[in-house]
A = this chain, B = another copy of it.
Amino acid sequence: MGRIKTFIHDLLEEQYAPSLRARVFRAGLIALITLNVLAYMLETVHEISAPHRHWFLAFERFSVCVFTVEYVLRVWVCDQCLVDDHPVLCRVRFMFRPLMLVDLLAILPFYLPLLIPMDLIFLRTLRLLRLARVLKLGRYSDAMQVFGAVVRNKKEQLAVVCFILCILLVVASSLVYHFEHEAQPAVFGSIPESLWWAVITLTTVGYGDVYPVTAMGRIMASLIALLGIGMFALPAGILSAGFVEWRERQEKPKVCPHCGKRIE
């Protein structure tokens, strides 16, 4: 029993030095997750899903089986690395880890309708939860962890910029609502509706479904665009700097110019 547990633990959870066997196994899981995401997307194409409905269903069932077994095994072997705790308590705490919740979310949309009777609208929303499977990739890729580290490293500046962006959105939508409301009551019907215009303009998407037509509205929109667009590009600039710094930190062991010793 103990040897099986160790074997499975090595297969699923060992982070630092996974065996070749574990790496092959995990590559298989990554492929399965990717195929699931592809299936989720192709299922909405009527020409593809209609004639192959049973294949999609079979693949969904197979995937849920694998993911369920994976989930159960993860919970079972979790006491391998969390030994200093009560076996039940430690498992409950383990189940509330973010990645375990994602794993649960990824299989729930299959089991819930079997347990609770549901109406169609709720079922459709539940299907959306299957998207959580794409987040399961987070466990196997460094990308997410690097990205998280960069965001955490720059969180102060990002918070400052987010606060300013929020205020800018409120001010922009209020001003343009004030000047455009009478000329275009349909699209600038209220400030929350004008927010759509403000977001689409300040992110420079500019679909062209909503735009000011009065002289004052255009002057305001121009000023807001000129002032605001720089703001909306700030997070990208800050994150880029974060990515570049992150790599430098990886590569270069800094050395103190006075004593020549390495500084972290």
Give chain A interface residues in 99-135, CB to chain B under 8 Å.
Answer: 124-125, 128, 131, 134-135
The answer, among B41, B208, B254, for a CB contact under 8 Å with A206, is B208
A134 touches B171 (CB 8 A): yes
**Residues of chain B lying within 8 A (CB to CB) of residue A203:** 204, 225-226, 229
CA gap between A128 and B181 in the complex, in Å: 13
Interface membership of A35, Cβ < 8 A = no
Looking at the assembled complex, report how far the CB atom of A53 sits from the nearest CB atom of chain B, in whole angstroms.
15
Number of chain copies forming the complex: 4
Q: Count of chain A residues with Cβ under 8 Å from any Cβ of B?
A: 84
Interface membership of A97, Cβ < 8 A = no
Looking at the assembled complex, report how far the CB atom of A156 sits from the nearest CB atom of chain B, in whole angstroms.
6
The A contact surface, by secondary structure, is helix
A244 touches B247 (CB 8 A): no
**Residues of chain B lying within 8 A (CB to CB) of residue A218:** 196
Interface membership of A199, Cβ < 8 A = yes
Sample (23) of A-B pairs whose CB atoms are under 8 Å apart = A40-B174, A41-B174, A45-B189, A128-B178, A134-B170, A135-B167, A144-B164, A147-B164, A157-B246, A161-B243, A199-B222, A204-B204, A204-B205, A204-B206, A205-B225, A205-B229, A229-B232, A230-B235, A230-B236, A233-B233, A256-B258, A256-B263, A259-B259
Residues of A within 8 A of B (CB): 37, 40-42, 44-46, 124-125, 128, 131, 134-135, 137, 141-144, 146-147, 154, 156-157, 159-161, 163-165, 167, 170-171, 173-175, 177-178, 181, 189-193, 195-196, 199-201, 203-209, 211, 218, 222, 225-226, 229-241, 243-244, 246-247, 254, 256-259, 261, 263
